[in-house]
Amino acid sequence: MSIKHILFDNDGTIVDSEIIAARIMLRLLAEHGLLLSERDYNMRFPGLRTRDIVIALQNEEGFRPPADFVQQLHTEHKAEFHRSLRAIKGMPTVFRNLKVPKSMVSNGSILHVENCLRKVRLLGALDGQIFSAEQVNNPKPSPDVFLFALEKLGLSAHETLVVEDSVTGISAAKSAGIQVIGFLGATHIHDGHGQKLWEAGADFVVPDARGLAQLLKKKEIF
């Protein structure tokens, strides 16, 4: 069955936002006494929501955040994203020139995804919808948001293709029965991440936007 629609993750797949969020988190954690390396943090927590990362740090590291810690993060994220958010190299060309419609499927809020796409001038190129974990009971790695997207788009899993950068996203897509491409083109990606995506069930892994374009050309959708 031919692919009729592509489902893109947002952070770390279209926009190079994960590295911004990680560095803000690491700086604030250090200010409150918890020191983690960028590599360790990015390998442990890619694709997770901020609140879930904080809970994990509380459970695994004994971190005791102040009451306004998450609000501090959100405030600094908003300011830094406005200053420095960029699209991942080559992805605007891929996004704009697909032969099939595309939607966004993210653990981030709809507003966050809209703001990201607007900032990198891709919102007008979105010819599908934005689906968010805020619309379902469970975020990725649960398949809920992908299953919700399929229902709303009126498509079967076999008619869609997912592009994801994290183990969290790969696991969610595979649990929904969707073919998924692991993407390694973002700044926050470290050596060994591709192997983790293969192990999570990725059907393909590409190093960057050029590799993604080549794969999509073979599938006759770019």
Q: What is the pLDDT of residue 1?
A: 59
Same fold, 5-16+86-218 and 18-84: no
Across the range 45-59, mean pLDDT stands at 86
Quickly state the pLDDT bin for 77 (edges 50, 70, 90): confident
CA 41 to each of CA 27, 35, 91, 139, 163: distance values in angstroms, whole numbers, following the listed order: 12, 10, 25, 20, 22
Q: For the domain covering 18-84, report its CATH number.
A: 1.10.150.240
Q: For the domain covering 5-16+86-218, report its CATH number.
A: 3.40.50.1000
Q: What is the pLDDT of residue 42?
A: 82
Across the range 37-52, mean pLDDT stands at 83
Report d(CA 165, CA 17) in Å as an integer: 12
Report d(CA 123, CA 138) in Å as an integer: 26
Report d(CA 184, CA 211) in Å as an integer: 10
Q: What is the pLDDT of residues 155-188, one digit of tens each?
A: 999 999 999 999 999 999 999 999 999 999 999 8
Identify which of 22, 7, 18, 6 has the alpha carbon closest to the alpha carbon of residue 112.
18
Q: What is the pLDDT of residue 214?
A: 98
**Domain-by-domain residue ranges, the chain?**
5-16+86-218, 18-84
Flag whether the pTM goes above 0.75: yes
